[in-house]
Amino acid sequence: MKPTRFCRVRNPGRRATISDVATAAGVSRTTVSLVLADHPRITEATKTKVRQAMADLGYVYNRAATAVRSGRSDLLGLLVTDIRNPIFAELMMSVDRCVERTQTSTILGFSFDSRERQARIARSLVEHMVGGLLLLPTADTIADDLACVKDLPVVQLLREVPGLPSDVVGVDNLGSGTSLGEHLAAVGVGRALLVGGERASQQFEERLQGLRVSVDTAPVLGGAVGLEARLGEGPDCVVTYNDTHLLAVLHTLRDRGLEPGVDVRVASFDDTPIARGVKPSITSVDHHAGTIAERAVELLNERIADPERPWRRVTVPGELVVRESTRVVPPCFAP
């Protein structure tokens, strides 16, 4: 017997409905709804038949309407600054993989480090009835900026906005700086430069404080441009606050005739593929973006299930990974 084929909805201006699917598959509307929920009481044969009808009719499940009826949404918001920082990109991809395992979906927004844009996107996500929000806030966010999310389950990532009630998943920046500083001191580094962006965040200051436990470390803002003006100070090591600046720092050193890992040591934080893939490979502190994502999604789902539970702050420890850039003992630095 030839397999039954289903006709598409003939009116291109009308979307197929659950009733259309039920009629085409020869089942009830309730059965179609249970298939959409992947209910275990529906046999695989029936699920296959219903899903084939959906495909042939071009049926698209209206999750927004379901959210309005039920008051619950399986759509989560993910609002971050940008993807120029490699660990932010890794974090976003890890969140997406974790969310997929929980059979939910994400809607993504970028603030581009603008408080005003962040507030607009947060409000839009609330208006679209997301069930919860994973937020990597701008460095200068204040709690009043995000008043629109006060009734929404929220988990902050990496940064914490003072006075914003939410769960938080961050990293131990002070511990990471201390661990890297101890390693640098052990291999003979006496003076280091910590290269960051245009402004010093709380995370930058914590990493700087950790490095200073063991090594005389000076802050350098402005990325590689700022570094170029400070190389004459004779650092034994250049540390990048994150891998955003790493390639430019390596180019700057080589433009000055200094071979990274030979004439001056180099290290970084976050241990993204950039640190692992360049030559020499870079000693770095792995902040485990995948673990941060997993814990954040777990906390958000727990908050959605139990909105009254106490707020939690989870700190993911960093892990020092020693590579070529600090293994070689360089000669005395001669500016």
CA distances from 84 to 5, 110, 112, 184, 236 (A): 48, 11, 10, 27, 28
Residue-wise pLDDT for 151-183, tens only, equals 999 999 999 999 999 999 999 999 999 999 999
pTM score, whole prediction: 0.79
178 and 165 within one domain: no
CATH number, domain of 41, equals: 1.10.260.40
Same domain membership, residue 276 and residue 184: yes
The reported pLDDT for the residue numbered 335 is 42
Strands (E), the chain: 75-80, 105-110, 132-135, 154-157, 167-171, 191-195, 216-220, 237-240, 265-270, 283-286, 313-316, 319-321
Q: What are phi and psi of 6, to 5 degrees?
A: -110, 145
The answer to whether residues 161 and 79 belong to one domain is yes
| Residues 282 and 271 occupy one common structural domain | yes
Q: What pLDDT score was predicted for residue 121?
A: 97
142 and 239 co-located in one domain: no
Name the residue among 193, 191, 181 with its Cα closest to residue 238: 193
Task: Quick: pLDDT tens for 31-81.
Answer: 887 887 778 889 999 999 988 988 888 877 665 555 444 445 578 999 999
Residues 193 and 237 in one domain: yes
Same domain, 151 and 196: no
Q: Which domain holds residue 91?
A: 74-172+289-317
The CATH number of the domain holding residue 201 is 3.40.50.2300
What does the pLDDT average to over 280-288? 97
Q: What is the mean pLDDT of residues 263-282?
A: 96
Look at residue 9 and tell me if it is in a domain. Answer: no
Q: Is the pLDDT of residue 11 over 60?
A: no
